[in-house]
Structure 1
Amino acid sequence: MAMIKTLIAAALLAASLTPTPQPAPGACAPSTAPPPQSAPPTSVNTLRQAYHCVLDNYYGGPALDTRTLLRNAMSAYTQELMRRGADRGDLRLPALTGNRDTDWAAFAKVLGTGDPAALRAAITGMVAGLQDNHANWIKPEPEEESEPTGTGIVGVSGAYGARLDPATRPPLFITEVLPGSPAAKADVRPGDILVKANGVPAFFGDTVNQSLVDAIGAPGPVRLTLKRPTTGRTRTVEIEPGPLTRPPRAVTSKTLPGGAVYVKLPGFFGGAADQVIAKLQGKPEAVVLDLRGNGGGSPREVTRLLGAFAHGKVTSYFCPFEGDCVPNKTDDSVPLVGARLIVLTDRGCASACDDFSAAVKDNGIGTLVGTRTAGAVSGPGEGYLLDDGSVLVLPKVRHLGPARETIDTVGVPVDHHAPMTALDLATGRDPGVAKALELLREQQ
């Protein structure tokens, strides 16, 4: 469920690796430092900045229709006013022509001084209208509490960013619970099937209830109806959010039966590739690299880790709106491990993880086992600071796989389907690892 925050962090990290051109005057400024702690409220000028920033800096900006951008902004603006019972009788979308400057002038005239909360909704709606999972608006927020709080349920099957994968089919089940959390103290376990949240069913027919994630992450108590797959028992628990302790992100490993090395990589954070490579110093014959739930990170970590398994390969392409695509290649300064590679993926494998998986599959570097990746990948992004202290993150280029195929929204298909089930989690079985071991035995 934390994929969106991971994607934003990955975009900001990638931005630090990309040269920064100067923006158009008065649009927005590249964010090279954290937003100020004290900033004015969101205003019509903030929305103006965001509008011009998207047109000037988003890789697809030259093809955008200003009428669509402003329509999306107005739709979100009026919906926020209606939600609060503050709709205005004189508020309507003006006639727009497709001219960038005259359309904005007409739009701003209708808004007048503007409503700060509705303006924030308008920026959110305008960015969401791009339908790009790496384009995000990070709202100004007060400093985080020194101690995070929540239920401790940090993973559910079908999680796809802040939402649930529309392709998710019953049952929906919990995949991760933080030790010592309120959920753990209530005996909520991985594998427990989510039947209802606050009385609302997890599915309407075969359609997953998207509000379920919001219910679990809401500030107040949540009432969950759970079914334990090992016993069939159904019970209802009420969980009050409390202090949480998150374990540090780190690469872990173990030796599997037959001598293969299993490595769990939770993200392509700085130094992640070298941590994985350090686990392989014994020159194993086979490596099972677990990328399930890996939300992405730095493109440099992807090419460096791929360099441990292959040299001289194109790993992806970064493509501008116009002009030639730029190939990314394996980091051939990394010594080859010389091991057979099996990669475990799922719908939580996103962004840089999509990138890595596509490179493995297209170049024949290894075998993919599990389920199709998230298909939430773009080229490096950049953060742009707006006058209310918020940051707009926009991809500078689009991403294509090594075969110049689109991975975003599609994902990377696996070679061997091995999904995790509720019963697998509840009993400690791992179908992905089991399939990997089966494939390794076949090669002996």
Structure 2
Amino acid sequence: MNQLPYLRRAVRRSRVLTAGLALLATSGLAVPGTTASAGPLSGAAVAARATSGTGQACTPAVDGPPRPQKPTTVATLRQAYRCILDHTYRGPVIDDRVLLQAAFKKITQELQSRHQDLPIATLPKLTGRRDADWNAFAGKYQAVLDALPNDPALRQALASAAIEGMVSAVGDNHNSWTGAFHGSPGGYTLGILPGSSGRATPDIRDAQPPFYVRTAVPGSPADEAGLKPGDIIEAVDGLPLTVNGMLSPGVLSRLRPSTADPVHITLHRPATDRTWTADLQPVAMTASGPPAPPTVSVTLVDGDTADVVLPDFQPGRADEALQKLDALRKAGPVRGVILDLRGNGGGRGEEVAKLLGAFAHGRITGWNCPLHGACTPDRTDDTTPLVNLPLVELTDSYCASACDAFSSAVKDLNLGKLVGERTAGIVAGKPQAFALDDDSMLVLVGEHQTAANGEIIDGIGVAVDYEVPLTAADLSKGLDPAVNRAVTLLRS
């Protein structure tokens, strides 16, 4: 798969999703170039115009700089519809009516939110015949467009809603639609990497209070305001974060600001029992930062145990970790490795294979399976020299995607023990990027991943051998019981 800049950003967004913030925030839509709109047409003319176009199929996206996205037209919607049916795991058997119903639902929600609902905005009869259903849907969609004001932003919002509805209807957690309108790396950040109890799933109800600071990114507004790991976030802009024992999505969304307006956060520090309010000024995000992503750290704990903290599986991470581990071993004896993957949001499969290759050679680490037909294996990268050291992996419910896959291989291949909490279980399969005619991109999963022994990890996660959760109280006091348990295991 091409190492596309857009796809890498999609993976990074997935990491924020698992942290429980981006799932709560909605992205703003930029206004595309204007398009002319004709007056109302007859029913036959509407259907003919809606189904016309090049009929161009989506194609695998190629690496290169992003281009400005053109308006998303009815022809683009048809292209996305066919692309989803042709290239997703369930595409061969999915009922097309499910896709089109989800698309029209999102369209009507968008109309209502803009106070533009129309009497004619009803989904026409669908029969399960894909081409006929598309023609019926497209004819009604074009009729809705013709009845609306000639507002490019409104038209783009409806088109975006339609594609996002179809993508979400498939159900795979690595499917997405990215482009200049809502996939750019813009926006603002406070530099808070959060934590909570419960699973990191798209349903915020699975997370449990307290909601706390896992990391304040160095140099970020959170860091400059003095926020520390373990600080519990009690309120944002004066609104409580927890209502009736549940986290409030609307309040949480302010922690991922869409503007430069200051954010006022009320915090409690368990170690000192102090409660105070910090005023954070969001900083703009760009394609290259700020804040800079965390890097691999390798340090000694308990005198002779390497503690390797790997924040993700982005390109180069495995080499970085192994080089730093090698440098540590040259400085003195190392008897074991603690690999800390807590909060690791995933990344590239090649990095997983390379790092697993440091602990085993000649092994199958997982499988990629189409809906019908034979599965193909993932294998260790046997060009990686073996480190020949015992391993304990630390994991939690924010270990997702490639991190899920790595953890399942460690467990199935008996490469070491898992300590901490069950992984996220957000590992549907490896995504492939496809270009659409508006210069946006669909990222779709065509095969589902299973573990080395064939277990399904997606939605379930990898269970740990020793349950040792990380709490806000421990973080605030500088304690890490999971590391202590790992040291004990490596010495036993």
What's the TM-score, normalizing by structure 1? 0.88
Aligned with 1:124 (options 164, 168, 173): 164
Aligned with 2:474 (options 408, 417, 424): 424
Higher mean Cα deviation, 279-288 or 132-141? 279-288
Deviation at 1:69, TM superposition (A): 0.4
Aligned with 2:380 (options 326, 330, 336): 330
1:233-278 C-alpha deviation (Å, 9 max, x unpaired): 3333342313574235432201111411111111212232222222
Residues 127 and 158 from structure 1, CA distance in 2 versus in 1: closer, same or farther, beyond 3 angstroms? farther
CA distance in 2, matches of 1:144, 1:394: 18
1:164-208 C-alpha deviation (Å, 9 max, x unpaired): 753222211111212333233333322111222234332333333
Q: Is residue 158–residue 165 contact of structure 1 (8 Å, CA) maintained in 2?
A: no
Deviation at 1:81, TM superposition (A): 0.8
Q: Is residue 431–residue 446 contact of structure 2 (8 Å, CA) maintained in 1?
A: yes
1:326-348 C-alpha deviation (Å, 9 max, x unpaired): 12222233332211100011112
Q: Is residue 58–residue 396 contact of structure 1 (8 Å, CA) maintained in 2?
A: yes
For 1:273, give the aligned amino acid.
A
Residues 25 and 328 from structure 1, CA distance in 2 versus in 1: closer, same or farther, beyond 3 angstroms? farther
Q: Structure with the greater relative contact order (CA < 8 A, sep ≥ 6): 1 or 2? A: 1
Partner of 2:111: 81
CA distance in 1, matches of 2:216, 2:424: 22
CA distance in 1, matches of 2:430, 2:182: 27
Residues 363 and 154 from structure 1, CA distance in 2 versus in 1: closer, same or farther, beyond 3 angstroms? same
Aligned with 1:321 (options 360, 371, 381): 371
Aligned with 1:231 (options 252, 272, 276): 272
CA distance in 2, matches of 1:144, 1:296: 20
Deviation at 1:72, TM superposition (A): 0.4
5+ residue gaps, structure 1, are 10-23
Higher mean Cα deviation, 75-84 or 124-133? 124-133
CA distance in 2, matches of 1:226, 1:433: 26
1:133 aligns with 2:173: yes
Partner of 1:175: 214
1:60-102 C-alpha deviation (Å, 9 max, x unpaired): 2012110000000011110011001111111101111111100
Partner of 2:296: 251
For 2:469, give the aligned amino acid.
P
Residues 280 and 184 from structure 1, CA distance in 2 versus in 1: closer, same or farther, beyond 3 angstroms? closer
Partner of 1:58: 88
Residues 364 and 165 from structure 1, CA distance in 2 versus in 1: closer, same or farther, beyond 3 angstroms? farther
Aligned with 2:246 (options 167, 191, 207): 207
1:366 aligns with 2:416: yes
1:97 aligns with 2:127: yes
- SS of 1:369's equivalent in the other structure is strand
Q: Is residue 194–residue 211 contact of structure 2 (8 Å, CA) maintained in 1?
A: no
CA distance in 2, matches of 1:401, 1:139: 32
Q: Is residue 350–residue 376 contact of structure 1 (8 Å, CA) maintained in 2?
A: yes
Deviation at 1:124, TM superposition (A): 1.2
CA distance in 2, matches of 1:112, 1:215: 36
5+ residue gaps, structure 2, are 1-7, 16-53, 146-154
- SS of 2:387's equivalent in the other structure is coil
CA distance in 1, matches of 2:218, 2:63: 34
Deviation at 1:107, TM superposition (A): 0.3
- SS of 2:325's equivalent in the other structure is coil
CA distance in 1, matches of 2:385, 2:352: 15
Deviation at 1:410, TM superposition (A): 0.7
Q: Is residue 370–residue 416 contact of structure 1 (8 Å, CA) maintained in 2?
A: yes
Partner of 1:185: 224
1:153 aligns with 2:192: yes
CA distance in 2, matches of 1:391, 1:56: 15
CA distance in 2, matches of 1:310, 1:33: 32
Higher mean Cα deviation, 271-280 or 352-361? 271-280
Q: Is residue 219–residue 291 contact of structure 2 (8 Å, CA) maintained in 1?
A: no
Give percent identity, aligned residues only: 42
- SS of 1:215's equivalent in the other structure is helix
CA distance in 2, matches of 1:68, 1:363: 39
Cα RMSD over matched residues? 2.6
CA distance in 1, matches of 2:189, 2:431: 30
For 1:268, give the aligned amino acid.
F
Residues 212 and 161 from structure 1, CA distance in 2 versus in 1: closer, same or farther, beyond 3 angstroms? farther
Q: Is residue 3–residue 348 contact of structure 1 (8 Å, CA) maintained in 2?
A: no
Partner of 1:12: none
Higher mean Cα deviation, 368-377 or 267-276? 267-276
Deviation at 1:354, TM superposition (A): 0.5
- Runs of 4+, deviation exceeding 4 Å: 142-145, 158-165
- SS of 2:206's equivalent in the other structure is coil
CA distance in 1, matches of 2:304, 2:436: 53
The 5 A counterparts of 1:257-268 are: 257-268=302-313
Higher mean Cα deviation, 219-228 or 82-91? 219-228
Residues 251 and 183 from structure 1, CA distance in 2 versus in 1: closer, same or farther, beyond 3 angstroms? closer
For 1:277, give the aligned amino acid.
L
1:402 aligns with 2:452: yes
CA distance in 2, matches of 1:142, 1:96: 30
Higher mean Cα deviation, 47-56 or 266-275? 266-275
Residues 35 and 304 from structure 1, CA distance in 2 versus in 1: closer, same or farther, beyond 3 angstroms? closer
Aligned length: 426
Higher mean Cα deviation, 247-256 or 82-91? 247-256
Residues 259 and 163 from structure 1, CA distance in 2 versus in 1: closer, same or farther, beyond 3 angstroms? same
Higher mean Cα deviation, 365-374 or 170-179? 170-179
